[in-house]
Structure 1
Amino acid sequence: MKKYIYLSFICVVNLLVSCTDVIDVEVPTADPRLVIEASLDWEKGTLGNNQTIKLSKTSPYFDTNSSNPVTNAMVSVTRLSDNRVFNFANNNDGTYTTTSFEAVFNETYQLDVLYENEVYTATEMLLPTTEITKITQSKDGGILPDAIEVNVFFDDPDNETNFYIIRFQNQGDLFPEFRDLSDELLNGNEIRVFYEKRGDDENDKDNELKPGDVVDINLFNVSERYYKYMQLLNSQLGSGNPFSPTPVELRGNCINATNADNYPYGYFRVTETDERVYTITEEN
């Protein structure tokens, strides 16, 4: 009997030890691709001359220590109506800047990036953006009861098809949040978009907006293609819905004109923006 117990003990120990074995999983890798972050935003009330484009390369999923900036490219943007070229200076850190960009409504602009003997290009039209008419805060217009939400109001132009992106970022947060909105059912009406921060569960109050928080807000009127791009991006950013669509490779409007198979990631956007800053106040 003692021998049986001893042998059983040995088997259990061996089982536990075997459970701690390290299993090497071979993770598929892909060749690095160029990532183009080219958002030329013309803030209302400014000339919009100062613009920045960022270039980098993709990195392996588990590599968190490398940003892979691209420092040996040539970058320019051309206004196609008059072939006015705006060259972007290389800052040798992955950013390319200009202080002479000229923004003109309803003009089409073309991005050109020359990198490793290949040309990447994209086009986009600069659209005017309606103004934000007012910003309020409340506790009865969001999803969570008793949570503070920021309400942004603007008037949609009548007899036009418009697509909007609203960017919210609570100062101090690492990433912004985006809302995508079409005026398909709201044409010519006042539009309200709210921003409410939520925690992991209903009892997590620490992550909600509080008096003193400062929220940066940007309203953009964008092309239908960029609107659909952001719709897809938002649907894949941690919805938490087990029935949501399987994430897919997200490609923007940038193409490789030299080698189509070596396509880039990212987007070239040119738009006006109405930018506001709102501070959460004490409850009345």
Structure 2
Amino acid sequence: MKNGIIYIIGLMLLFACEDVVDVDLPEVEPKLIVDGLLRVDKSQEFVNVEIRMKETTNYFDENLPTQVENAVITYGKPLNGDIFESLAFCSLAEREPGSGVYIPDPNFSSDQRIRTSVVEPGMVFILELTHKGKTYYAQTEYAPTVPIDNLEQGDDTLFDEEETEVVVTFTDDPDRDDFYVFDFGFGEFLTVEDQFFQGQEFQFSYFYDDSLTTGQDITVSILGATQDFYNYMDLVIEQTTNNGGVFQTPVATARGNVFDITGLDNIDIFDNVERPNDFALGYFAVVQTYSSTLTIE
């Protein structure tokens, strides 16, 4: 009987210790997220323009698609300062209501798609959009790249026997300083610069943490990058894990190139050096890409 009473008292004390703790999280002003990575595949007739707009929500909540009042991409080759040669425009419209995905407006009076044949080194692209009464501006230069020479499966492992090694080989362009972003799928990216192999063939191994199955196809892409985009991706990769993509949950400290220029009358200071908190999350980049597919053995 005494043992039974002690047991019951112990259970009562155990359940009495289960208190619900409410944590008051600070109110955070929602920020616009711009997933504006445009990949230029020269084997295709048009650039695949898809810009995803989202807005941050409260802590632990999923970021939701949002709509912009207007969005346009301006592009051309600069001749002198702000003067452009053959300036062209691409007006954007939401692909489906509520999707937050913006594509060249199919209902515009003229074809708004961007032909890959006109995209060349030195071309500058400018994204301007309006979201909830605020005007945003992003500028980037087209970043060319080189193809993947060879992609093969290796036998080595780094930390775990379940890892899968892929060996990537490419040859750097000797006439320019290149920055690369490799997309290994599954939200996994890697940044590489040519500082130590200028103009040479370069080979490296990448290890997939998750076990890949025999017969599974994986696609590896090499993306060109400006130095600013390379630095941004390098920072984001360090701060994120495999969460569905580096633009899925942008880190607030990783500042991109989309700035809030509302009320500014001098576009020369569009980067908001005097307004450090006025920017959107994400990045706008236009990069050349090559892809190679490998079947896991």
TM-score surpassing 0.5? yes
1:20: which partner in 2? 18
CA distance in 1, matches of 2:157, 2:46: 35
Q: Check if 1:119 corresponds to 2:115.
A: no
CA distance in 1, matches of 2:162, 2:93: 49
Q: Aligned to 1:45, what secondary structure does the other structure show? A: coil
- The 5 Å alignment of 1:26-45 reads 26-45=24-43
8 A contact 2:216–2:296 mirrored in 1: yes
Residues 13/211 of structure 1: CA separation in 2 closer, same or farther (3 Å cut): closer
2:47: which partner in 1? 49
CA distance in 2, matches of 1:190, 1:143: 27
2:203: which partner in 1? 192
CA distance in 1, matches of 2:211, 2:202: 24
Q: Aligned to 1:35, what secondary structure does the other structure show? A: strand
2:236: which partner in 1? 233
1:100: which partner in 2? 113
Q: Aligned to 2:234, what secondary structure does the other structure show? A: helix
Deviation at 1:50, TM superposition (A): 3.4
Runs of 4 or more consecutive aligned structure 1 residues displaced over 4 Å after TM superposition: 8-14, 141-147
How many residues align? The count is 255
Residues 36/62 of structure 1: CA separation in 2 closer, same or farther (3 Å cut): same
1:167: which partner in 2? 183
Q: Aligned to 1:51, what secondary structure does the other structure show? A: coil
Q: Aligned to 1:267, what secondary structure does the other structure show? A: strand
Residues 34/147 of structure 1: CA separation in 2 closer, same or farther (3 Å cut): closer
CA distance in 2, matches of 1:223, 1:136: 27
Deviates more, 1:252-261 or 1:263-272: 252-261
* Long gaps (5+) in structure 2: 77-83, 105-111, 243-250, 264-274
Q: Check if 1:69 corresponds to 2:65.
A: yes
Deviation at 1:271, TM superposition (A): 0.7
Per-residue deviation, residues 3-41 of structure 1 (Å, max 9, x unmatched): xx97x8787555423321111111223011111111111
- The 5 Å alignment of 1:72-91 reads 72-80=68-76, 81=84, 82-91=86-95
* Long gaps (5+) in structure 1: 170-174, 199-206, 240-246
8 A contact 1:56–1:69 mirrored in 2: yes
8 A contact 1:34–1:58 mirrored in 2: yes
1:183: which partner in 2? 194
Quote the sequence identity (%).
26
TM-score w.r.t. length of structure 2: 0.77
Letter in 2 for 1:104: E
1:244: which partner in 2? none
Residues 60/234 of structure 1: CA separation in 2 closer, same or farther (3 Å cut): same
2:126: which partner in 1? 110
Per-residue deviation, residues 48-105 of structure 1 (Å, max 9, x unmatched): 33311111111112224xx421224211111143321111122322011025114233
TM-score w.r.t. length of structure 1: 0.81
Deviates more, 1:9-18 or 1:188-197: 9-18
Deviates more, 1:151-160 or 1:224-233: 151-160
Q: Check if 1:249 corresponds to 2:247.
A: no
